[in-house]
């Protein structure tokens, strides 16, 4: 269990929605943590289709890039560097229309994996 990690030392891994990639920062499996934290890299023109997380809150902070997001009950809105989004558990959402490669910090509580 390593409490200090450097992003440069971590490798990009496939996200369930390819060709999107993730770098695992903190997980229940690797770190015995009560949250999952990772970086997400999403290329221009790609999307994360509509989905839900039944028991997890999804906290997203955009480090760079531009696109659009939709959350059930809120609607469509632009996302860009500095945008903070909280998606409540069991809420449909998606990211789409990526016009600049997105890099975001993503936190799930309770842990996703």
Number of domains making up the chain = 1
8/113: higher pLDDT: 8
- For 38-81, write each residue's pLDDT tens digit: 999 999 999 999 999 999 999 999 999 999 999 999 999 999 99
Is 11 part of a structural domain of the chain? Answer: no
Q: What is the pLDDT of residues 60-69, one digit of tens each?
A: 999 999 999 9
Q: Provide the pLDDT confidence category of residue 1 given band limits of 50, 70 and 90.
A: low
Is 27 domain-assigned? yes
- Is residue 82 included in any domain, yes or no? yes
Say what percent of the chain tops pLDDT 90.
88
17 inside domain: no
Domain-embedded: residue 101: yes
Domain assignment of residue 29, given as a range: 23-35+76-113
Q: 88: helix, coil or strand?
A: coil
**Residue 5 DSSP class:** -
Q: Which pLDDT score is estimated for 16? A: 84
| Whether residue 87 has pLDDT greater than 90 | yes
Cis peptide bond prior to 19, omega within 30° of 0: yes
Does 48 reside within a domain? no
Q: Where are the beta strands (DSSP E) in 1-113?
A: 13-14, 21-26, 36-42, 48-51, 57-71, 75-80, 84-87, 93-109
Q: In this structure, is residue 12 part of a structural domain?
A: no
Domain assignment of residue 66, yes or no: no
* pLDDT number for residue 17: 86
Asked if pLDDT for residue 18 goes beyond 90, the answer is no
């Amino acid at each position: 269990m390593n409490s200090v990690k450097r992003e440069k030392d971590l490798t990009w891994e496939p996200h369930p929605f390819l060709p999107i990639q993730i770098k695992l920062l903190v997980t229940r499996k690797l770190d015995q943590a009560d949250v999952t934290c990772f970086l997400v890299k999403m290329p221009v023109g790609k999307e994360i289709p509509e989905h839900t997380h039944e028991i997890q809150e999804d906290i997203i902070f955009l480090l760079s890039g531009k696109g659009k997001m939709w959350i059930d009950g809120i609607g469509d809105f632009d996302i860009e560097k500095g945008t903070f989004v909280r998606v409540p558990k069991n809420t449909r959402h998606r990211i789409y229309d990526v016009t600049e490669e997105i890099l975001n910090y993503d936190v799930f509580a309770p842990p996703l994996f």
